[in-house]
Structure 1
């Protein structure tokens, strides 16, 4: 009789400890000089996105090693799209005029806008 060895890898959500069915979201983040890697369910990844967005709204992303970040102004964004995104996400935005730096940073950092 032929035998076949089958290995199964179970991935658990590093936040909830629950087994992840389907695909895991791999997250890498840095805080206070340390880098952390997490495997999260879609639900936990969304919770992390929701929690961290207000903090990174005013942050400057660090360019990848060996590259320089292009200087981007708010003028390269579609102001109407940014305001609509802010409205959908319950983020205050002036209906006219210049977009704030914190709003444009939050818009750029949102996963759906990368």
Structure 2
């Protein structure tokens, strides 16, 4: 007997089914709490467009994670870029998760191969 688990993603705003490649993970903080949303490209863009005036008027707060050099993707949350990195990694035989944080080594390899996409 074989067992196969299938993960189905859904847009957190409109409950639309999404493939792993269509999921845009959006993380944001408000009033001291951090939130994560799984969104379609359209809803992720709506979120970005809505929050942009507040980001432009606000001051970015940088938090360090212990000692040492920050990871090369610190502060970057470009879902399109993350999708390109994942696609590049798969095309080049590297193991990469379909969502969540991308390993620093994978990002560094991608940036070495694609210096114009930093």
- TM-score, normalization: structure 2? 0.51
User: 1:52 — aligned with what?
Assistant: 51
Distance in 2 separating the partners of 1:56 and 1:14 = 22
Structure 1 ranges of 4+ moved more than 2 A: 64-67, 109-114
Structure 2, unpaired ranges of 5+: 67-75, 82-116
Q: Write the deviation string for residues 49-104 of structure 1: whole angstroms up to 9, x where unpaired.
A: 1111011111111103248xxxxxxxxxxxxxxxxxxxxxxxxxxxxxxxxxxxxx
Q: Distance in 2 between matches of 1:66 and 1:36?
A: 19
Change (3 A) 1:11 1:110: closer
How many angstroms apart in 2 are the aligned matches of 1:31 and 1:42? 22
1:62 match: 61
Q: CA RMSD in A?
A: 2.7
Deviation at 1:110, TM superposition (A): 9.6
Change (3 A) 1:55 1:15: same
Q: Which runs of 5+ in 1 are unaligned?
A: 68-108
Alignment of 1:1-114 (within 5 A): 3-21=1-19, 22-66=21-65, 111=78
After superposition, what is the alpha-carbon deviation per residue over 1:12-31, rounded to whole angstroms, capped at 9, x for unaligned?
11111111133311111001
Aligned residue pair count: 71
Normalising by structure 1, what TM-score?
Answer: 0.53
CA distance in 1, matches of 2:77, 2:52: 7
